[in-house]
Amino acid sequence: MALLETHDLVHSFSNDEIVLNGISLRVEEGSIYGFLGPNGAGKTTTLRLVLGLLKKQHGSIEIFGEDLGKNRVTALGKIGSMIESPSIYSHLTAEENLRVLQKVYQCSRRRIAEVLELVRLANTGGKKAVEFSLGMKQRLSIAIALLNSPTLLILDEPTNGLDPNGIIEIRELLRRLNRDSGITIVISSHLLSEIDKLVSHIGIINKGRMMFQGTLDELKEKQQQALSVMFETSDSMKVREAALGMGIEGVLDNGRCTLPALPKETIAEINRQLVMKGIDVYEVSVAKNDLERIFMDMIG
């Protein structure tokens, strides 16, 4: 079941600039959906439309199976979001920040303690938000987004600007929320390595167009092909000679011989010839596409 679907979203900020051109998203219930694209691709504009922060110009948006235009207040009541920079009061503590929103959401005071525990800010006491690290501020913003006990959580670049430790903290937090609380998460990012480690589904956008949508496994299955084969041996020249004998050109570099992508049978045959000639074979490795290479190929 899809919690969020958009169909053919088109948006422009002027007659000459089309920011989105036919964006159709499908976010499955229980998934972590990675919305991936370079800066300026249209990720934030899409999420602003989904949240009703921009007026829709063309296309349709359905959340929880209902048209957003007809069911906006009810739908948004089940969504938590953080778009762009954290929206917090620097002169207030974490608890005081949440108290302000608690009155807006009309949820119980008990919920404040629950979300602070979830994001691991329960022990910050009287410390003001201005004294928080960027990672703590990001977690406080996520706590605010969780205050209304959302079914769907939408986060725009939540790890932007964080150091490696902060990125790991946010990643583990999102995994826990998805696994333990059953929250469906949409996370936009241009950090390819983080998306690869976190999401179950992915959408790739570039210049306002969807380039791919599906599971992460489907993307890798579709495009993850061998790029080269590297032989590390006691005599790399002999590797090159064996390959040339089969019509394959190799490149020598730093005591290794790199060959183009080959069938398994061909790799085995080259290895067999080397062993028969008394050449020690230390390693045979196949270089394949990773998500970053796939992404760069897709956006040209």
What are the phi and psi torsion angles at 30 (to 5°)?
85, 0
As assigned by CATH, the class of the 2-222 domain is: alpha beta
Mean of all residue pLDDT scores within the chain: 89
Rounded-to-integer distance, Cα 214 and Cα 205, Å: 12
What is the dihedral sign for C-alpha 223, 228, 232, 233? positive
CATH of 224-298, one of 1.10.8.620, 3.30.70.100, 3.40.640.10, 2.60.120.10: 3.30.70.100
pLDDT in the model for residue 84: 75
pLDDT higher than 70, residue 223: no
What is the dihedral sign for C-alpha 113, 115, 120, 121? negative
pLDDT in the model for residue 254: 85
pLDDT higher than 90, residue 21: yes
Residues of the chain with CATH 3.40.50.300: 2-222
For the chain, how are helix, strand and coil distributed in percent, rounded to 5?
40, 30, 30
Alpha helix stretches (DSSP H) within 28-71: 43-50
Q: Are 169 and 139 in contact (CB under 8 A)?
A: yes
* Residue 131, SS3 per DSSP: helix
pLDDT higher than 70, residue 242: yes
pLDDT in the model for residue 169: 86
Residues of the chain with CATH 3.30.70.100: 224-298
Asked which of 118-127, 154-163, 217-226, 274-283 is least confident by mean pLDDT, the reply is 217-226
Predicted TM-score of the model (pTM):
0.79
85 DSSP 8-state letter = S
For 122-174, the pLDDT digits (tens) are 888 889 999 998 888 988 999 999 999 999 999 998 888 788 888 888 899 89
